[in-house]
Amino acid sequence: MNLEGIPTLRTERLILRGPRRDDLGDSVALWGDPEVTRFLGGVPSTAEETWSRFLRNLGHWALQGFGYWVVRERDGDRFVGEVGLADLHRAIEPSLEGVPEAGWVLAPASAGRGLATEAVRAVLAWSEAALGAARVVCIINDDHVASRRVAEKCGFVRFAESRYKGAAVQMFERLAPAR
């Protein structure tokens, strides 16, 4: 799949589109921020690590037909963050392999405005329509209250507790409404 094959999603305030090379600077700033990574492994990413993540996200689109979008405000094109789906083959129990895993990471300037919820809802609607995804999961660090609120607002319910890379996490799932 080339970049033109990544769908663009629009919400009231946001545009979710495929990553472009000129988004890399915003991604490096996002993933290099200790406030952002506090609940995502606890260590800011280097530019090299962010580049690898950037490529991995594009690879998801090519191999899985889903991945992460870059999120920007419709009014002014300001970078909001990255939101999407992945199958990361995590070493976690219970296994999440083969189930789209939702994730969202927002720049601190975009937090607290409902933008994550708006973007995640758009991704979930797309996953149901385009993928026929009956189930989407996510994992959230026990201490990440704001992210847990986003999950709950988007219809996720906790189904398990686990540990991932030494951190206590809660595992959530969202089942698509019956058709």
Give the lowest-confidence range in 14-18, 71-75, 155-159, 165-169: 165-169
Give the alpha-carbon dihedral of 127, 94, 87, 80, to 10 degrees.
70
pTM: 0.94
> If you average pLDDT over residues 18-30, what whole number do you get?
96
Please report which confidence band the pLDDT of residue 1 belongs to, taking 50, 70 and 90 as the band edges: very low
pLDDT digits (tens, 9 = 90+) for 68-109: 999 999 999 899 999 999 999 999 999 999 999 999 999 999
Quote the Cα angle for 82-144-12, to 5°: 40
Question: Which residue type is seen at 84?
Answer: G
pLDDT digits (tens, 9 = 90+) for 32-60: 999 999 999 889 999 999 999 999 999 99
